[in-house]
Structure 1
Amino acid sequence: MKLPAQDRALLLAGAHHDPHALLGAHPLPGGTLVRALRPLADRVAVRRPDGSRTPLTGLGDGLFQAVLPGPPPADYQLVVGYPDGTELVTHDPYRFLPTLGELDLHLIAEGRHERLWEALGAHPTTHQGVAGTRFAVWAPNAQGVRVTGDFTHWDGTALPMRSLGASGVWELFVPGVRPGALYKFEVRGVDGTHTLRADPFARRTECPPATASIVHESDYSWGDADWLATRGARPVHTGPLSVYELHPASWRPGLGYRELAEQLPAYVRDLGFTHVELMPPAEHPFGGSWGYQVTGYYAPTARLGRPDDFKLLVDALHQAGIGVLVDWVPAHFPKDDWALAAFDGTPCYEHPDPRRAEHPDWGTLEFDYGRPEVRNLLVANALYWCEEYHVDGLRVDAVASMLYLDYSRGEGEWLPNAHGGRENPDAVSFLQELNATVHRRCPGVFTVAEESTAWDGVTRATEHGGLGFDLKWNLGWMHDTLLYLGEDPVHRAWHHHRMTFALHYAYSENYLLPISHDEVVHGKGALVSKMPGDWWRRRADLRAYLGFMWSHPGKQLLFMGQEFAQGAEWSHVEGPQWWVLADDYVAAGDHRGVRDLVRELNHRYLATPALWELDSDPAGFAWVAAEAAGDNVLAFLRFAADGGPLLVVCNFSPVVRHDYRLGVPDRCHAWRETLNTDDPRFGGGGVANPEPLKAETIPSHGQPVSIAPTLPPLATLWLTPA
Structure 2
Amino acid sequence: MAARKVPIDVAMDPADRERLLAGAHHDPHALLGAHPVPGGVVFRALRPYADAVAVSANGRRVELEAMGDGLFSSVLPLDSIPEYTLLVTYGDHVFELEDPYRFLPSLGEFDLYLFSEGRHEQLWKALGAEPMEHQGVTGTRFTVWAPNARGVRLAGSFNFWDGTAFPMRSLGSSGVWELFVPGLGEEELYKFEITRPDGSKTMRADPMARSAELPPATASVVHVSRHEWRDAEWTARRGQRPVHLSPFSVYEVHLSSWRPGLTYRQLAEQLPAYVSDLGFTHVELMPVAEHPFGGSWGYQVTGFYAPTARLGTPDDFKYLVDTLHQAGIGVIMDWVPAHFPRDDWALAEFDGRPLYEHEDPLRAAHPDWGTLEFDYGRREVRNFLVANAVYWCEEFHIDGLRVDAVASMLYLDYSREQGQWTPNVHGGRENLDAVAFLQEMNATVYRRVPGVVTIAEESTAWDGVTRPTCDGGLGFGLKWNMGWMHDSLVYVSKDPVHRNYHHNEMTFSMVYAYSENYVLPISHDEVVHGKQALVSKMPGDWWQRRANHRAYLGFMWAHPGKQLLFMGQEFAQGGEWSEGHGPDWWLLDPAYEAEPDHRGVRDLVRDLNRLYAATPALWEQDTVPAGFSWVVGDAADDNVFAFLRFDAAGAPLLAVSNFSPVVRHEYRLCVPEDIPAWGEILNTDSAHYGGSDVTNPDPVKTESPASGGGAGTIQLTLPPLSTVWLRPV
| TM class by smaller structure | over 0.9
Q: For residues 530-552 of structure 1, what are the alpha-carbon distances to aligned partners after superposition, in whole Å with 9 as ceiling and x for unaligned?
A: 00011000000000000000000
Instruction: Determine if the alignment matches structure 1 residue 75 to structure 2 residue 83.
Output: yes
Aligned length: 719
Q: By how many angstroms is 1:29 displaced?
A: 2.0
Q: By how many angstroms is 1:523 displaced?
A: 1.1
Match of 2:604, SS state, is helix
Within-5 A mapping of 1:362-377:
362-377=369-384
Name the residue aligned to 2:14.
5
Instruction: Determine if the alignment matches structure 1 residue 716 to structure 2 residue 717.
Output: no
Residue pair 2:146, 2:350 contacting (<8 A) in 1 also? yes
Residue pair 1:245, 1:558 contacting (<8 A) in 2 also? yes
Residue pair 2:36, 2:81 contacting (<8 A) in 1 also? no
Q: For residues 474-497 of structure 1, what are the alpha-carbon distances to aligned partners after superposition, in whole Å with 9 as ceiling and x for unaligned?
A: 000000000001100000000000
Q: Using the alignment, how far apart are the partners of 1:486 and 1:627 within structure 2? A: 19
Within-5 A mapping of 1:454-473:
454-473=461-480
Q: Using the alignment, how far apart are the partners of 2:310 and 2:663 within structure 1? A: 51
1:581 to 572, 580, 588: 588
Name the residue aligned to 1:57.
65
Match of 1:10, SS state, is helix
1:39 to 36, 48, 54: 48
Letter aligned with residue 79 of structure 1: L
Name the residue aligned to 2:484.
477
Match of 1:245, SS state, is strand
Structure 1 unaligned segments of length 5 or more: list them: none
Q: For residues 193-248 of structure 1, what are the alpha-carbon distances to aligned partners after superposition, in whole Å with 9 as ceiling and x for unaligned?
A: 11000000000000000000000001110000010000001110010000000000
Name the residue aligned to 1:684.
691
Q: By how many angstroms is 1:450 displaced?
A: 0.1
Q: Using the alignment, how far apart are the partners of 2:94 and 2:501 within structure 1? A: 84
Match of 2:547, SS state, is helix
Name the residue aligned to 2:672.
665
1:294 to 301, 311, 316: 301
Q: Using the alignment, how far apart are the partners of 2:115 and 2:61 within structure 1? A: 42
Q: For residues 79-124 of structure 1, what are the alpha-carbon distances to aligned partners after superposition, in whole Å with 9 as ceiling and x for unaligned?
A: 1111x32222110000000011110110011010000000000011
Match of 1:331, SS state, is coil
2:604 to 597, 603, 608: 597
Q: Using the alignment, how far apart are the partners of 1:433 and 1:563 within structure 2? A: 36
Q: By how many angstroms is 1:42 displaced?
A: 1.4
Q: Using the alignment, how far apart are the partners of 1:257 and 1:620 within structure 2? A: 40
Q: By how many angstroms is 1:73 displaced?
A: 3.6
Name the residue aligned to 1:380.
387
Letter aligned with residue 275 of structure 1: H
Name the residue aligned to 1:332.
339
Calculate the TM-score normalised by the size of structure 2: 0.98
Match of 2:650, SS state, is coil
Instruction: Determine if the alignment matches structure 1 residue 401 to structure 2 residue 408.
Output: yes
Match of 1:36, SS state, is strand
Name the residue aligned to 1:192.
199
Residue pair 1:610, 1:641 contacting (<8 A) in 2 also? yes
Name the residue aligned to 2:636.
629
Letter aligned with residue 452 of structure 2: V
Match of 1:439, SS state, is helix
Within-5 A mapping of 1:216-235:
216-235=223-242
Q: Using the alignment, how far apart are the partners of 2:640 and 2:619 within structure 1? A: 23
Instruction: Determine if the alignment matches structure 1 residue 553 to structure 2 residue 560.
Output: yes
Within-5 A mapping of 1:192-271:
192-271=199-278
Q: Using the alignment, how far apart are the partners of 1:62 and 1:72 within structure 2? A: 26
Q: Using the alignment, how far apart are the partners of 1:120 and 1:359 within structure 2? A: 27
Match of 1:429, SS state, is helix
Match of 1:528, SS state, is helix
Q: Using the alignment, how far apart are the partners of 2:82 and 2:601 within structure 1? A: 73
Q: Using the alignment, how far apart are the partners of 1:74 and 1:241 within structure 2? A: 63
Q: For residues 382-434 of structure 1, what are the alpha-carbon distances to aligned partners after superposition, in whole Å with 9 as ceiling and x for unaligned?
A: 00000000000000000000000000000111111011100000000000000
Q: Using the alignment, how far apart are the partners of 2:662 and 2:622 within structure 1? A: 31
Q: Using the alignment, how far apart are the partners of 2:623 and 2:191 within structure 1? A: 49
Q: Using the alignment, how far apart are the partners of 1:102 and 1:73 within structure 2? A: 25
Name the residue aligned to 2:505.
498
Structure 2 unaligned segments of length 5 or more: list them: 1-9
Q: By how many angstroms is 1:451 displaced?
A: 0.2
Calculate the TM-score normalised by the size of structure 1: 0.99
Within-5 A mapping of 1:397-476:
397-476=404-483
Residue pair 1:699, 1:706 contacting (<8 A) in 2 also? no
Letter aligned with residue 601 of structure 2: V
Q: By how many angstroms is 1:463 displaced?
A: 0.1
Name the residue aligned to 2:5.
none
Name the residue aligned to 2:3.
none
Q: By how many angstroms is 1:697 displaced?
A: 1.8
Residue pair 2:488, 2:506 contacting (<8 A) in 1 also? yes
Check 1:47–1:503 CA distance in 2 against 1; reply closer, same or farther (3 A cut). Answer: same
Match of 2:591, SS state, is coil
Check 1:544–1:703 CA distance in 2 against 1; reply closer, same or farther (3 A cut). Answer: farther
Residue pair 2:621, 2:648 contacting (<8 A) in 1 also? yes
Q: By how many angstroms is 1:374 displaced?
A: 0.2
Residue pair 1:664, 1:703 contacting (<8 A) in 2 also? no
Q: Using the alignment, how far apart are the partners of 1:74 and 1:326 within structure 2? A: 52
Residue pair 1:452, 1:476 contacting (<8 A) in 2 also? yes
Residue pair 2:153, 2:194 contacting (<8 A) in 1 also? yes
2:531 to 506, 516, 524: 524
Match of 1:469, SS state, is coil
Match of 2:665, SS state, is coil
Letter aligned with residue 541 of structure 1: N
1:304 to 279, 289, 311: 311
Name the residue aligned to 1:320.
327
Instruction: Determine if the alignment matches structure 1 residue 95 to structure 2 residue 102.
Output: yes
Name the residue aligned to 2:32.
23
Residue pair 1:25, 1:72 contacting (<8 A) in 2 also? no
Match of 1:647, SS state, is strand
Match of 1:334, SS state, is coil
Q: By how many angstroms is 1:699 displaced?
A: 7.0
Residue pair 2:35, 2:81 contacting (<8 A) in 1 also? no
Match of 2:414, SS state, is coil
Q: Using the alignment, how far apart are the partners of 1:624 and 1:497 within structure 2? A: 15
Q: Using the alignment, how far apart are the partners of 2:621 and 2:533 within structure 1? A: 31
Q: For residues 585-625 of structure 1, what are the alpha-carbon distances to aligned partners after superposition, in whole Å with 9 as ceiling and x for unaligned?
A: 11000000000000000000000000000000100000000
Residue pair 1:663, 1:703 contacting (<8 A) in 2 also? no
Name the residue aligned to 2:113.
106
Q: Using the alignment, how far apart are the partners of 1:193 and 1:13 within structure 2? A: 10
1:119 to 119, 126, 129: 126
Letter aligned with residue 78 of structure 2: G
Q: By how many angstroms is 1:527 displaced?
A: 0.6
Q: For residues 15-34 of structure 1, what are the alpha-carbon distances to aligned partners after superposition, in whole Å with 9 as ceiling and x for unaligned?
A: 00000000000011221000
Match of 1:324, SS state, is strand
Residue pair 1:516, 1:558 contacting (<8 A) in 2 also? yes
Name the residue aligned to 1:565.
572
Match of 2:654, SS state, is strand
Q: Using the alignment, how far apart are the partners of 2:277 and 2:460 within structure 1? A: 35
Match of 2:258, SS state, is coil
1:158 to 154, 165, 168: 165
Match of 2:634, SS state, is coil
